[in-house]
Each structure stands twice: as C-alpha cells, then as structure tokens.
Amino acid sequence: MAKWVYLFKEGNAEMRNLLGGKGANLAEMTNLGLPIPQGFTITTEACTDYYTSGQKVTEEIQNQIFEALEALEKQQGKTFGDMENPLLVSVRSGARASMPGMMDTILNLGLNDKAVEGFAKKTGNPRFAYDSYRRFIQMFSDVVMEVPKSHFEKVLDDVKKAKGWKFDTDLTGDDLKEVIKRYKEIYREKMGEEFPQDPKTQLMEAVKAVFRSWDNPRAIVYRRMNDIPGEWGTAVNVQAMVFGNMGDTSGTGVAFTRNPSTGIKGIYGEYLINAQGEDVVAGIRTPLPITKLEEDMPHVYEEFMNIADRLEKHYTDMQDMEFTIEEGKLYFLQTRSGKRTAFAALQIACDLVDEGMITKETAIKRIEAKSLDQLLHPTFQEDALKAGKIIGQALPASPGAASGKVYFTAEEAKNHHESGERVILVRLETSPEDIEGMQAAEGILTARGGMTSHAAVVARGMGTACVCGCGEIQVDEEKKVFSLGGETLKEGDYISLDGSTGKIYKGEIKTVEAGISGNFSKIMEWADEFRTLKIRTNADTPEDAANALKLGAEGIGLCRTEHMFFEGGRIRKIRKMILSKTEEEREAALNELIPYQKGDFKGIYQVMEGRPVTIRFLDPPLHEFVPTEEKDMIELANEMGISLDEVKAACDSLHEFNPMMGHRGCRLAVTYPEIAKMQTRAVMEAAIEVNQEKGLNIIPEIMIPLVGEQKELKFVKDVVVETAETVKKEKGSDIEYKIGTMIEIPRAALTADEVAKEAEFFSFGTNDLTQMTFGFSRDDAGKFLDAYYKAKIYESDPFTRLDTHGVGRLIQLAVEKGRETRPDIKLGICGEHGGDPSSIAFCSQLGLDYVSCSPFRVPIAKLGAAQAAICSKEGK
C-alpha cells in the first residue's frame, strides 16, 4: 500500500519532491530537535491522485490522514473536537517549489461549538477562544467554501456599530458569540447546510481546498512565470496550532539570516507582538525590526539567534524563517532558503564561498540565472535625477529605478503595458490577484505593508522596483488619483521610483543601464570557468554590439541586416528597389544602398575586433518597407517618376494573406538574386577593408534565412560565392568566409542531412521554428493561449521557453542529421530562447557550440550555460 501521509518525524529534507519544501523542512527541523509544533504532511502524490481520481480524496488516503491525526493527538495530549482540551491545527499548502501567496491557508481548524468551550476553559481566555472560532468560521467559509468575506465583514461591522465599538479588539466574548451565531447563519444560508461541526469533516474539506488551490488561476500564472510544471502538485501540512496572539508575551515574526535585498550577513526580519502569523505577511500592521526582540524578550531572542545560525549552517544557505512565541515559548513554524534579490544572491553566493560553506559550483547553481535580469535594469541618470522632485520616501522593498505612468489597478497596468506604455502600479496594498499587473509594471508603490509584505516579496522575485508602506500617501483607487508631498497625481501621470532608496519622484526621470562589477563580475568569471557553450549576441548596430561586448558577448550570432534599411534616406532607396520593374533598375537602386550597408558592417566589425559576426541576409517580406501613408506614396511616385496609382498598385501587389509564411527570407534572394549580390558585396568589402585598416583577420559568416531545401540554399550560396570571389579579385584579397543557414523551417530540420551539404553552420531560428512547428503565429496566439494555460494544455509560453518536447525533437533531429553529413558543422541558436536558461540547458545537452541572445541577456545566458555544464558534469 502506498504511503500518502508522513508524520514530521518520518521525513527529512531530501524528501522535498514528495513532502513539498515546507513539509520536508519541518521534518528536517524535527529531526534536528528544534522546537516545532508537530504535525504531518499529506504528500504531493496525494494531490496528483486527487486530480486523477476526478477531484476526490480516496478512502485509503483519508484513512492514512486520520491515522496520522490520531498519532498527533497522542503526541500533543489533546483530542480533536474535545470539550476539555481540543487539538487545533493549521492546514497549509507546501509545494516542491516555494509559491508565496499563491496557496490558501486555514488556521484554528478543529474548533466547533463544543471545542470552543474546551478551548476557552483550557486557555482561561473565553474572549480569545471565541475570537479564534469566529476567525476560523470566516476563514473556512471564505477559503474552503468560497463564501465571500464581505458578508462576514458586514456582520462584524454591524455588531460593532450596534455596540458603539470602534475596533475589533473592543468586542467582548459575548459580542463574539453573537458574531459567531450570525456567521453560522450566513453559512447556512449560503451553503444550504449547517457549518460543519465535525472536525474531521472540517479537516478533509480544508485538505481538498488546498488541493484545489493548486489549480487556481493565480497559481497557474505563477507557475507559468516560474517554469513550475502543473503535474508536481502540492503537499498539505497539518500542524498543531501555536498562538502568537495570546497577549504581550506572545508574538509572531518572519526573519532572514542575511539581508534579502543586499545579501549582507546578519539577521534581518520583523515581528509583531500579540499577533497571528498571517498578520505579518499580510502587511496590515507595520511590524518591529527583529533586533527589537532582544530588548523585549532577551532569552527568546538568544534562542532564536542560535537556531537561526544552526539552520543556515545546516542548509548552507540563507534561511527565511517563520516563528511564533506563545506565552514566552519560541516555536519555529517553517524555514526555507530565502528568496532574495539578484544583487543579494550574488553577495550571498560569494560570501558563502569565502566562508568555506559552499563550492564555486554550488554558488553558481544557487543563483537563479533569470534573476540577473534585475541587475541589468536601469538606474536613474545622474543629471536627470538632480532635477527630479522628491515627493515622498518609504521602504526600499525591491531595488532598481523605474519611471512610468501611474495606474491604480492591475488590469489597467497590464493593458497599458501591452499597448506599449511604461507603467507604475500604485496600490493600497497588493494581493495575489494583482500578479499580472505587477509583472507588467516597471515599478510598484504601495501605501501599506513592510519589507516582507506581498508586494515586496513578489517584486523582488520579479526584479521589479518596489517602494512599500508609504504611510503618507492618500490613494483613491476609485477616482484614480493619489496625493503625496503636496502633489496630486492622476492616472496616466508620470512618477519615478527608486527601489533601492525608497524615494518617490514626481515626473519622468531618465534611466541608464547597469554594468557588471564586483560580485557580479566574480560570478561571471566563475561561470566562464565552467561553461562549455559560447555566448554570442543578437546585435544589428555598432552600439548594440559594444553594449553586448561590455556584458561579455563572445561574438554576434545574429546581425539582422534589414534594420539598417529603415533609417532616414535608406528607406527611400529600398522602396525604389522594391518598385523597380527590371533587374537593371533594381540593381541600380541596390547599388545606392551598398555604401550604407557596408558602412554599417564596418562599424560592427570595428567594434567586434575579429570576434565572429554572423550576418543574416534580408529576411522580412518587402511590404514591410513600402509606404502606407499617401503622402509618402506621393513622394515616392515623384522620386521614381511614376504615377501615384502605380505606386499604390505596386504596394497592393505585395499584400500577403499570411505574411509570416510568405515571400520573405531567402525566397527574396531566389526571386531577386541581386539583393543577395548587393549584401554579399557590402559584407565582403567591409571585412576586407577593416582587416586592412586594423590588421585583423575577420572571417565573415553569411547566414541565409528561411531555407527549406538544399537546392534552395545552394542557389543562393552560388550567388553569394560568385559575388564574394569577384570582390576578392577586385580587392586582391584572399579573405576566408563562411556560408551557413538558419534552421527555422520544419522541412530544413527534417532534411538537415542534405542542407548540411551546403551549410558550414546551422543557426536554429527558434522563433520561426516554434511558430511553424506549433502551427500558430506569435502575433495571433495571444487570442487563445490564455485558454490553453487555463486548461493546462500548455504550461509555458513556447516563445519564451523552448518546447523541448516538440520543437526540441526537430532540433535534435537536425543536429544529428547535420553532424552525419558534416561532423564539424558549427551549431548555435539565435532565437529569443537563446537568453532563456532552461532552453540554454537544452542547447548545452545537445552539444551546440553557442547560443545567441539579446545583449541584455548575455550574463544570464553565461550563468545558465555554466549551470547546465555543472549539472551535466554531475550527471544530472
């Protein structure tokens, strides 16, 4: 018989996949002999079983839960639902990966009309007991049964009003009895049955609610953002309650062993006296710094510090701990490796290596590659900052500078972000429902909550600038205005935030990119030691190339030549080329373009100083270049000496039904070989001249896009070779050059053995390859992909994370076939997946030579490549 439930003492930290992170760590801490309220964990497998059984908990699993419960009762000397000394438990989710704020929690479970009496007797505090029961009914009804909170809040307000009370704390035991009575009436009315009195029924309903919450929309969005597979499931932790809200010798808090923003060693956290755990996280009351505890309860503080230190050493990582003090006694409710900013992650990783606690390999593996993104985010331009008007300051919750237009709801933020605006989300406080708006925002500003509030935790995770707990701000979310520091700002006005200082500025302040130095550059050096993949960049201009070099790029994997055609006078010349009626006219127009294109290439070659540069020939359909406005058409007609109607007709004739699958890529070179000739000439002349001028040995790499067939590549290659040889002769040069192709059409991958006969290198264009393999266009997929995520058909955006399953099979096939024909063929990818760590791991596994990504993502790719290499060395 399968084991579905483990007592804490039966598990350990290695059992994370089965028990979830929280459950495994509770088990580990139990084994370490730490003060943990005991309990048991229902496994992630039970969650999976729940779904495959049609959302039912089987009898077998239920029996094991009740057995564990019995064991817990014995251990605690309390009985579930007892009138004298009832056992109360919390029910919490705990997945394999931490999903903060995503899952629902139920406290005080076990209370009923009788047990509340027993609880009152035992605690000697009837008011506390009835308040606990009230809270439980509300939480259970809301979280488990989905009866809206507002009904209960109204009752509470009504009773307070009737009594003339102002605060919840004014309510007496008898008031609370009245509240409980009315709560139960609401429950009966909404649910058509009495509030469940059987604690076991309560428990099973709560367990099912946790299982269900694994699939709520917020959880699905979070998983997609963090590459967490839906099949993992969540465990459920059932733990004896301890109470931080039993008076002034009780309290609850959250602390980190190192600063999660900066990584600086030393305890860092907050606590609240006389509060339940959720009060801290929810950020409703502003808590005290942990160091204050030393004054309040020195013995507890000492014990806490000892255990914290022990936990960090045990796990060899910075810990994020939750604790409760019940009438002077300290309990740890959980510990886990703490979330941290990328900045802190680097600091901690370097420190832990210095402290001899971990190896360099472990340090590299510990840093989430994607998180480096944060460090590459902008800071304010110094001069621009001087002119900025500070209108307020609050908690520096997530570092980085941000500037954008103010929006007051997650939805508005998301919508305006999608229409291209830079957005700052301003909220009283954030909640998990806001997740997509937070993701869309450049920065987040909240009125309430501390450094561990929802907004702060999530923003750090995302690397989004965040300023929290700004008490002075007056936010009117309805009217869409806020006032602060004497200014009133409305929706759409610009503000700027510095998440590192907590300062809030009126208006827009220009930002600058961050560089690589200190710990960052140390980690990059380590990454370079371990990785086997080369990292190139996608860059179309000397500026991009220079930026990428600074960030560590080792070459250019994709230089898109078409971007060069949009500037000023060039677009007119390319339009002339497109509207030419004869090959001669076209060649003449193209000849005018050569100096520009050559100049661009020279600029790039000069910056790259001999590093490899792969130049992709013209790719987009020609209609992207023609004018759409009549005045531009008239200008073009005049310039070409033809009628406006002719221009219009020519532009119309370029219309395509499915431009993505139309007349583009090398198809342009097959129909107009003179374009390939012009580009070849520009590439070759530029390389020869720069070689001569700078004494370099540039070997140009010419890449033919959108090839689907060997003969097609050969046709274009023949044109290129003929022109290149002509240029060499003209210039008296014996320069080498390489010709390769993009593999971005399924047919090219399927026939890669043949294509490789003509190609010295393959570069996988994973954007197009993904589109054609899935049969949906990136521009249109937005209309239905959300439904696919909801239905768990796809769990991540295949344009962000390489679909190793389908597209990956095609790539693997092409790699094998390509190498069959040409064992030394150079292989790389240049789609946007080149900057995605999980996709990089796949490329590393396949033994590609390089990945190419945007300049901005080069450090991420380097770290990802190092992690992949280390994992592969370790046989993972």
Q: Whose CA is closest to 338, among 300, 373, 312, 302?
A: 312
* Smallest distance from a copy of itself to CB 750, Å: 5
Closer CB to a copy of itself, residue 449 or residue 831? 831
* Span between the terminal Cα atoms of the chain, in Å: 30
Closer CB to a copy of itself, residue 263 or residue 765? 765
- Alpha helical stretches, state H, 655-709: 666-671, 673-694
Which residues make up the interface to a copy of itself (CB under 8 A)? Answer: 656-663, 667, 670-671, 706, 708-709, 711-712, 715, 744-747, 750-751, 768, 771-777, 779-781, 783-784, 787-788, 791-794, 803, 805-807, 809-810
Residue 556 DSSP label: E
591-620 exposure pattern, b = at least 16 Cβ within 10 A, e = fewer: ebbbebbbebbbbbbbbbeebbbbbbbbbb
* Smallest distance from a copy of itself to CB 232, Å: 16
Q: Which of 454, 466, 623, 651 is catalytic?
A: 454
454: annotated active-site residue: yes
Q: 10 Å Cβ neighbour count for 587?
A: 16
* Smallest distance from a copy of itself to CB 660, Å: 5
* Smallest distance from a copy of itself to CB 40, Å: 33
Closer CB to a copy of itself, residue 742 or residue 827? 742
* Smallest distance from a copy of itself to CB 225, Å: 20
* Smallest distance from a copy of itself to CB 605, Å: 31
362's tokens: 């472990």
Q: Are strands 319-326 and 481-484 parallel, antiparallel or unpaired?
A: unpaired
Residue 8 DSSP label: G
Closer CB to a copy of itself, residue 221 or residue 535? 221
For residue 110, give Cα distances in angstroms to 107, 145, 239. Answer: 9, 16, 11
Q: Whose CA is closest to 474, among 464, 465, 466, 484?
A: 484
CA angle, corner 51, sides to 48 and 54, nearest 5? 150
Closer CB to a copy of itself, residue 598 or residue 677? 677
* Smallest distance from a copy of itself to CB 34, Å: 42
Closer CB to a copy of itself, residue 649 or residue 793? 793
* Smallest distance from a copy of itself to CB 628, Å: 15
Q: Pick left, alpha or beta for residue 735 (phi over 0 → left; psi -120 to 50 → alpha; otherwise beta).
A: beta
Distance of alpha carbon 146 from alpha carbon 446, whole angstroms:
27
Closer CB to a copy of itself, residue 257 or residue 751? 751
308's tokens: 């914290």
Please name the residue that has the structure tokens 């000739």: 677
* Smallest distance from a copy of itself to CB 658, Å: 4
Closer CB to a copy of itself, residue 114 or residue 663? 663
Distance of alpha carbon 487 from alpha carbon 509, whole angstroms:
17
Distance of alpha carbon 841 from alpha carbon 833, whole angstroms:
11
Q: Whose CA is closest to 9, among 1, 309, 19, 17?
A: 19
Residue type (1 letter), 537: T
Q: Whose CA is closest to 406, among 504, 497, 490?
A: 490
* Smallest distance from a copy of itself to CB 748, Å: 8
- Beta carbons of 716 and 628 less than 8 angstroms apart: no
Dihedral angle, C-alpha 405, 407, 411, 413, nearest 10 °: 20
468: annotated active-site residue: no
CA angle, corner 61, sides to 58 and 65, nearest 5? 135
Closer CB to a copy of itself, residue 1 or residue 791? 791
Q: Which of 466, 559, 830, 853 is catalytic?
A: 830
* Smallest distance from a copy of itself to CB 65, Å: 29
Max CA distance (Å), the chain: 102
- Beta carbons of 431 and 449 less than 8 angstroms apart: no
Distance of alpha carbon 777 from alpha carbon 515, whole angstroms:
35
**E-strand spans in 149-303?**
234-240, 251-258, 265-273, 288-289
What SS3 state is found at 55?
A: coil
Closer CB to a copy of itself, residue 435 or residue 749? 749
Closer CB to a copy of itself, residue 232 or residue 494? 232
| Residue 386 CA neighbour count, 13 Å, CB half | 2
Dihedral angle, C-alpha 278, 279, 283, 289, nearest 10 °: -110
Catalytic machinery residues: 454, 830
